Amino acid sequence: MRRCPHFTRTQLSQLQFSSFKTPFALSTENKSSNIFLSSSFPPPLSSWQSRPRRSWKSAGSGPPIAGLAIGSLISGIIGNKLGRINTFRVSSYISIVGIIIQSTSISSYWQLTVGRIVNSLSLGIIANTVPAYLAEVSPLFIRGTLVNAYQFSIGVGAVLINTANWGMHSRTDQWAYRLVIMLQIVQPIFFIAGSFFIPESPRWLLGKSRQEEALSAMETLRSGTPRDQLEREVNLIAAAAEENKALFNDLLHRLSRLQL
């Protein structure tokens, strides 16, 4: 990859850290869906009072997808209100709650389902926030590489989750899947800790009229770059953000209706 003059190795590591937020959790969620949809969900894998009915499997696999969709829809609202970094933390806290609910569902099929819905909600939020953050903080000529690193991380997550499942293949009790679910908690905890070492998005800060903080974040992201150059970049970002500002009511304006 072409050497980036604006990023030190440390800063690139910070951005790559952001792109690897959800691979294991997302892949685990997909694996859980396969278990729920399986027509041969084996009784020994559960300690529920009775074998799950076919309707239970539909209820267990469908609502988490709705949770993912709802999380995606509200991610923009949360991100604009709290900022990108705080949104990372909020989604991680929600994920931890969902994982705990799933992991403690010893005798309740529906508790496991609720836990999956909560976890899917956090995944929907972060799946939209991470690419937005990477696009906002990276320079133009490596932006595509960093955003694609997020997609690559999902592939890494698929490898990790299949490796974890392979490690449990000899088990015939409920821990064959419960341990894999519990492994998810490592990632949100790691991400919460790491979020204190990456800067807020300068674009979001400028949108909140926090010019000095935006410049400080830019200095962290573009270590070694002259201050006057950083100020010009901040001004360009501010101008672009102002130009792109629009309200839903603007669509109802007469000129906008004619263009539509």
Run means of pLDDT, 10 residues per run, the chain, 260 residues: 49 54 54 48 49 64 85 93 94 94 83 89 90 86 80 81 81 79 88 90 90 90 85 86 65 59
Q: What is the pLDDT of residue 178?
A: 82
Cα separation values, 6 from 33, 49, 145, 147, Å: 42, 60, 15, 17
The number of distinct structural domains making up the chain is: 1
The C-alpha atoms of residue 98 and residue 181 are separated, in whole angstroms, by 10
Q: Is residue 260 part of a domain?
A: no
Q: What is the pLDDT of residue 5?
A: 47
Cα separation values, 215 from 85, 143, 227, Å: 17, 20, 9
Pick from 50, 31, 32, 52: nearest CA to 41: 52
Determine the angle formed by the axes of helices 109-137 and 84-103, rounding to 10 degrees: 160
The C-alpha atoms of residue 160 and residue 155 are separated, in whole angstroms, by 9
Query: Any idea which residue has 């956090």 for tokens?
Result: 122
Range of the domain at 223: 199-243
The answer to whether 217 touches 202, Cβ cutoff 8 Å, is: yes
Question: Per the structure block, which two tokens stand in for 93?
Answer: 């806290």
- The pair phi, psi for residue 241, each rounded to 5°, is -65, -40
- Cα 41 → chain centroid: 29
Query: Any idea which residue has 């990108």 for tokens?
Result: 84
The C-alpha atoms of residue 71 and residue 120 are separated, in whole angstroms, by 7
Q: What is the pLDDT of residue 100?
A: 93
The answer to whether 204 touches 84, Cβ cutoff 8 Å, is: yes
Q: Is residue 99 part of a domain?
A: no
Pick from 5, 3, 2, 58: nearest CA to 33: 58
Q: Is residue 179 part of a domain?
A: no
Q: Is residue 61 part of a domain?
A: no
The answer to whether 57 touches 37, Cβ cutoff 8 Å, is: yes
